[in-house]
Amino acid sequence: MLSATSKLLLAGVLGTTLTLPAFGDGHSYGPFPITLKGYSGDKTNSVSYTGQIARHVQHDSLKKLAGSGNLAEMMAYFKGSKKNKSIIAPASKGDFKIKQTLLNEISSGKNLSGKSYKGIVNGWPGGLTGAEVLEHMINKAAEHGSAFDPNTGYNYPQLISKFAMGAVFYNQAVDNYLDEKLGPDNKPNNKPYKDGAHYTGKEHVWDEAFGYWGAAAHSLNLTAEQNYNITKMKDMAAADHNGDGVVDLKSEFNFAHAYYAASYDKSGKTNYFNTVTQAFVDGRKIITAANGEALTSAQRSQLHALRDVIGQNWEKVIAESVFKYAGSVYKDIDKLQTIMESNGDTTKAFATYGKHWGELKGFALALQCGKSNLGETAVKLNRMIGFGPVLLNLSQVTGIDSSGNFIKDESSGWDEYKLHMLKIQKLMVDIFAVKAKANDQLANISDLSAKLGGSNSAEND
Amino acid sequence: MDILNFLFLDSVFEFFDPKKRIFIGYILTSTIIASLWLIVFKKINFSQSIKKIFDKKIFFSRSAKSDYLLFFLNQIIMSIINPLLITQLAIATAIFYYLHSFSWLNSGAFNNTPEFLIITLFTIFHFVLEDFSKFIVHRFMHKWPILWALHKVHHSATCLTPMTVFRTHPLEGVIFTLRGAFTQAISISVFVFFFGSNVDIATILGANIFIFAFNIAGANLRHSHIDISYWKWVEFIIISPAQHQLHHSVLQQHHDKNFGVALALWDWLFGSLHHSEKISQLTLGIDINQKEETHSLTSLYFDPLKEILFITIKRIKRLKSTLKSKKHISIGVNR
């Protein structure tokens, strides 16, 4: 006998399957038909973003390796390799079976270094470009040999991963594909993206941006919780859309910022994941509807509106992350101070603090890899976070020497640093209007203010 | 029309909000207490007591009618002014930030205090701070001529009803709102700074437990003609309704006494405590020969403004003549 819930689920699955049209169900990113004029090949689906998925996998694998101290291996995933490298992450875990085990099963010849932010990264010492910062971090991680370096407070896997997501995926999508490549003469829709391609210029530009976003093609059919659990590898049923028993990284997995969007949407206060993913689907439909002709200015305007929705919400997802980890760092310092006062062992709490700081720093640097210069906001953010976390002896990394080694100096102390964390949270609210506000250190104050309710009445007691 | 409807409803909601003095629950307990007091101490029967409590001459007096009007009109005026005022949240956040700049103060220093203790401490602290700040502000309202010009509106009531609480000039309302914002901000920011995220307030029906106790114990009778007094020693700690009624008396010896709201301790400490007296009928208001016009809306809203203007002009003139005479003296010295 089937339970009521199972019956409901079965009905839902059958209903969805039976009503799926041949191309696109309105809630999935593809498949979309071939619209390229004069195409005579046998392809039927014009969607293609395997290069982006390969980079997501390189990023996940690099993060996993960042604590190993193996420089050559790390570089193989960062700069690419002629060998067919194995996928270190995401790899099968228990019942959650991943279809691909080798990078070339997704796409070959890809790297992260060539697609990293080309501007100067002001929040990291040395006046380096995005690619150089990542390389510097990877070299330091290898030198140190493990994930966390108590001498600097750096957690390399977190720093590398969180910054790379911004420097590569976010930057490439919003500052390249959804920016100049949306121009009328750049990768036009009435020509193939490149010679021999089965998709048009604009189709592929849009697909590549979507690929960097990292959402699974069928993810709009799922809840935020399900999308979150796919990345956590806890919900095989939600991930395996075609029911073949394995999760295809090319279309059935949620990567990078899409995963963070789902994590905030779970709170019910935001809807970043669906907003961005739906905008991508809607944009792709507009391009498909142009049927291989050059886009009209009206169509481009529609795409620009969707591009803005994508860019703004993607930026908010990163700002929410900065907000969240500034709160974590504040709480971690509270804990550290309590332990220090009782002369306890700080090892574990200090490592946790370093991990959260790495996430904060990485996301803060990522936030500055968008389309526009954040100006004063970036300056405030970089100054308040500093080049390193405040260490137990109250020192802090303040720069690098000519050999690339970190220089430390006296910091302004714990309480000042905690105040910086509060101000960073406020900055994220003021500038980016974040709503999920995880780890809000002022939540108690606003809750109490609301509860006491002011005394806004003309009353003479 | 919608706005008027909304504002009218807002006024009506005050009777159903346990955070407000005129919550029907508090009115009911005040009536019961008053009735019992009259039956036990004035030796009258229940129906006589009810007649006495709801005395038509008082509730339909010109003074009381103007209280009712002010209640509705101020609701509209304050709903326009209040959004312009700084909120307790903004002040609390600023203080919370500021506390972080003292290196000798550790935020979260008492994070590990048991939650029930934090809540108890916060509830007591906030109640005491609120009551003290109300006392101090009230004292200034009487002592500073400009503020007295505003506060006189409240004292111009010649009959007291629970609605006299609303007989307040809007500018005085602004002062009270800011006082409330500052005290709440201090309590919240200081406690969250030292005790972390477990700070909360003990409430009954959403009202601070102490405020609830104060109100349910007949706080509405402060503004009434039922002169309930407490034992003398209690009147050193808590203000009885009779003590507050005396604060409204026209008699010279009652002037500037009993500024407190719930606690009499502040008056005791600052030398303004006056125990209740056995006077059969207090004359209430600003002076014995108070004119009927003082209850008109024009008078209630605009007389304080005129008075403030006169005081200011007088001060400026006095300042000018002082400066002039100083100039003469200095010229004389130079010669």
Q: Tens digits of per-residue pLDDT, A77-123?
A: 999 999 999 999 999 999 999 999 999 999 999 999 999 999 999 99
Q: Do the Cβ atoms of A452 and B154 come within 8 Å? A: no
What do you get for the CA distance between the two ends of chain B, in Å? 73
Position A299: which residue type? Q
Distances, alpha carbon B177 to alpha carbons B104, B137, B163, B197, B216, in Å: 33, 11, 19, 26, 23
Per-residue pLDDT for A12 more than 60?
no
Cβ-contact B179, A455 below 8 angstroms: yes
Residue A38 phi, psi (nearest 5): 80, 5
Rounded to 10 degrees, the C-alpha dihedral A266/A263/A378/A78 comes to -160
Q: What's the pLDDT at A15?
A: 40
Structure tokens at A156: 């390399």
Strand partners, B249: B284
Candidates A61, A56, A83, A84; CA nearest to A74 is: A61
Q: How far apart are CA B216 and CA B34, in angstroms?
A: 12
Is the CB of B173 less than 8 angstroms away from the CB of A458? yes
Handedness of CA B233, B238, B240, B244 (dihedral sign): positive
Mean pLDDT of B154-175: 96
For chain A, what is the mean pLDDT? 93
pLDDT at A458: 85
Q: Would you call B171 helix, strand, or coil by DSSP?
A: helix
A242: Cα separation from own chain's centroid: 25
Residue B326's pLDDT band (boundaries 50, 70, 90)? confident
Q: Taking a C-beta distance cutoff of 8 angstroms, is the pair A133, A167 a contact?
A: yes
Between CA A370 and CA A379, with CA A375 as vertex, the angle to 5 degrees is 105
The enclosing H or E element of A155 equals strand A154-155
Domain residue ranges in chain A: 50-310, 319-444
pLDDT at position A75: 98
Q: What phi and psi, each to the nearest 5 degrees, are found at residue B68? A: -65, -45
Are the Cβ atoms of A455 and B108 closer than 8 angstroms? no
A323 touches A421 (CB < 8 A): no
Helices (H) and strands (E) in chain B, counts: 13, 2
Rounded mean pLDDT, B225-231: 95
Distance CA A457, CA A232 (A): 51
Which chain B residues are Cβ-neighbours of A418 within 8 angstroms?
100, 107
Q: Which two tokens stand for residue B65?
A: 């009618």
Bridge partners of A98, per DSSP, are A247
The tens digit of pLDDT for each residue in B277-314 reads: 987 788 999 988 888 889 999 999 999 999 999 999 99
Q: Taking CB atoms and an 8 Å limit, are B92 and A454 in contact across chains?
A: no
Q: What is the pLDDT of residue B331?
A: 61
A-chain CB neighbours of B127 within 8 Å are none
Quick one: pLDDT at residue A21?
A: 38
Output the pLDDT for position A457: 75
| pLDDT in the model for residue A321 | 98
Query: What stretch of H or E contains B216?
Result: helix B209-216
Instruction: Please tell me the pTM assigned to this model.
Output: 0.82
Q: Calculate what percentage of chain A has a pLDDT beyond 70.
A: 94
Range among A130-134, A398-402, A412-416, B320-324 with highest mean pLDDT value: A130-134
Q: Among the residues of A290-408, which ranges form H helices?
A: 297-341, 347-367, 376-385
pLDDT at B167 over 60: yes
Residue A17 has pLDDT above 90, yes or no: no
Q: How confident is the model at residue B3 (pLDDT cuts 50, 70, 90)?
A: low
- Cα–Cα distance between B176 and A219 in angstroms, integer? 54
pLDDT in tens, A336-354: 988 998 899 999 999 999 9
A322 within 8 A of A368, measured Cβ to Cβ: no
CB A230 within 8 Å of CB A216: yes
HSE-up of B113 (CA within 13 Å, CB side)?
20
> What average pLDDT does the segment A165-183 reach?
97
Please report residues of A whose CB lies closer than 8 A to that of B111: 334, 338
CA angle B254, B260, B261 (to 5 degrees): 120
Which pLDDT value is given to residue A24? 47
Mean pLDDT in chain B? 92
- With a pLDDT cut of 90, the percent of chain A lying above it is 87
On the question of a cis peptide bond just before residue A90, with omega within 30 degrees of 0, the verdict is yes
pLDDT band, residue A256 (cuts 50/70/90): very high
pLDDT number for residue B197: 83
pLDDT digits (tens, 9 = 90+) for B41-91: 999 999 999 999 999 999 999 999 999 999 999 988 998 898 899 889 999
Task: Give the containing element (helix H, strand E) for B122.
Answer: helix B115-143
> Can you tell me the distance from the alpha carbon of B17 to that of B6, in angstroms, rounded to the nearest whole number?
16
- Neighboring chain B residues of A443 at a CB cutoff of 8 Å: 197
Q: What is the largest CA-CA distance in chain B?
A: 85
Say what the pLDDT of residue B281 is.
Answer: 82
User: Taking residues A423-450, what's their average pLDDT?
Assistant: 93
Does A262 score more than 80 pLDDT? yes
Picking from A171, A164, A186, the residue whose alpha carbon sits closest to that of residue A119 is: A171
Is the distance from CB of A312 to CB of A176 less than 8 angstroms?
A: no
Of B97, B166, B208, the CB nearest to A419: B97
| Torsion sign across C-alpha atoms B205, B207, B210, B213 | negative
Q: For residue A265, give both structure tokens.
A: 């949407």
ipTM value greater than 0.90: no
Question: What pLDDT sits at residue B105?
Answer: 84
Are B173 and A459 within 8 A, CB to CB?
yes
- Three-state secondary structure readout of B61-92: CHHHHHHHHHHHHHHHHHHHHHHHCCCHHHHH
Amino acid at A7: K
Question: What single letter denotes the amino acid at residue A394?
Answer: L
Q: Mutate which of B66, B119, B138, B188 to disrupt the A interface (most A C-beta within 10 Å)?
A: B188
One-letter amino acid at B26 equals Y
pLDDT computed for residue A10 by the predictor: 42
Inspect the interface and report whether the beta carbons of B78 and A415 lie closer than 8 Å.
no
Question: Is a pLDDT exceeding 80 seen at residue A372?
Answer: yes
Please compute the mean of the pLDDT values over residues A184-213 and round it to a whole number: 97
Give the dihedral of Cα atoms B34, B40, B42, B47; nearest 10 deg: 60
B78 to chain A: closest CA residue: A457
Render A57-102 in DSSP notation, one character per residue: HHHHHHHHHTTT--HHHHHHHHT--SS--B--SS--BTTB-BS--B
CA distance A337 to A331: 10
Q: Hey, is A348 helix, strand or coil?
A: helix
